[in-house]
Structure 1
């Protein structure tokens, strides 16, 4: 498997059935956007997405968001639809990144950008603080811990940022900074998804 395919989000799953994602709520509700057929791409399911954005209902409006391993853009486009101020979507696979850019043009959004890059390398530089961060990397690639460390070390988070992490269930507990409080946690099939709230003094 190529390096590009190893780091493409969303995570690997073999039962992918559709070539599009659906925006489930907000001003773009019901819009369907095509997804480029890239190996290893798994859009976050509508069931999980609805739960996550219910958790974020009080936090997403006018938030500056960072979508790491953006893949299909399922989380990023949902955030835009629900009133996020701005979202930066990072995606390593060039074809997937191009599709994200085309979808932004289709819906006429200008308060978002797509960056075709390696998320870990991007986070290694000094950052601009974000209110909401989505972390949904490929399964079983040991990326999450490095992401958490770089978000903190390089100032990518506002004092009370919300951090969403989607991972394989067998990964178990995550090692997070002491000032990250687990706000919500659920499991759906082989996926465990968590929302943390940062509580910087």
Structure 2
């Protein structure tokens, strides 16, 4: 069952980071919860876009900070920043779904570093994983597909993700363009909150009847 959360919007105006261009390592920082201020080393790979600190802070302000008991799926997990942030804030179960072998290895290292027993890493295609996940059994699905996939990729990801949450459940979507209620209604979704951070549009979506 989805827990009630505050819908008050944060006033921050986040600045998006430029896409990674490859070579070396960088860090992401968990911004809230029991692992607050913990820094995690992340690979610098082409197309990898860790969600900036201030965007994550705003998202979890929207959700109400305390995710105790929630089940969360982080599809297209990448660095795992979103899913690990949810676990830090009390989520009961978090599944990090990633296909890239190097990123999967890195995610396992994060889980070990944090001793995050509630976090599981699944190496597979995100769309396949979402399609096979038990219907309406997650509270929140994070979606950050490759921007190069185009609208078809995003629509397919939303179609698979919406079935994973019950009426009133949440999807978080990062995309290169804004999605509106008109475009989402046929998928059974509505826009609860939206912000633009540089070239990235961040949406908190809710499944509707």
Smaller-chain TM-score bracket = 0.7 to 0.9
Which residue, out of 173, 198, 206, partners 1:189? 198
Question: Are the equivalent residues in 1 in contact too, given 2:21–2:45 (CA < 8 A)?
Answer: no
Question: Are the equivalent residues in 2 in contact too, given 1:60–1:132 (CA < 8 A)?
Answer: no
* RMSD of aligned residue pairs (Cα, Å): 2.3
Cα shift at 1:106: 0.6
- 1:141 equivalenced with 2:117 (yes/no): no
Rounded Cα–Cα distance in structure 2 between residues aligned with 1:112 and 1:126: 16
Which residue in 2 is equivalent to 1:8? Answer: none
Which residue in 2 is equivalent to 1:4? Answer: none
Question: Are the equivalent residues in 1 in contact too, given 2:20–2:48 (CA < 8 A)?
Answer: no
Unaligned residue ranges in structure 2 (runs of 5+): 1-16
Rounded Cα–Cα distance in structure 2 between residues aligned with 1:144 and 1:108: 33
Question: Are the equivalent residues in 2 in contact too, given 1:68–1:119 (CA < 8 A)?
Answer: yes
Which residue in 1 is equivalent to 2:6? Answer: none
Which residue, out of 131, 141, 160, partners 1:150? 160
Which residue in 1 is equivalent to 2:45? Answer: 38
Which residue in 2 is equivalent to 1:180? Answer: 189
1:28-80 deviation line (CA, Å, top 9, x unaligned)? 10100111232221100011111111111167332100001000011111101
Which residue in 1 is equivalent to 2:167? Answer: 159
Question: Are the equivalent residues in 1 in contact too, given 2:76–2:98 (CA < 8 A)?
Answer: yes
Cα shift at 1:148: 1.3
- 1:81 equivalenced with 2:88 (yes/no): yes
Cα shift at 1:172: 5.2
Which residue in 2 is equivalent to 1:117? Answer: 124
Unaligned residue ranges in structure 1 (runs of 5+): 1-10
- Greater displacement, 127-136 / 186-195: 127-136
Q: TM-score, normalised by structure 1?
A: 0.84
Cα distance, 1:38–1:18 mapped onto 2, change above 3 Å: closer
Q: TM-score, normalised by structure 2?
A: 0.81
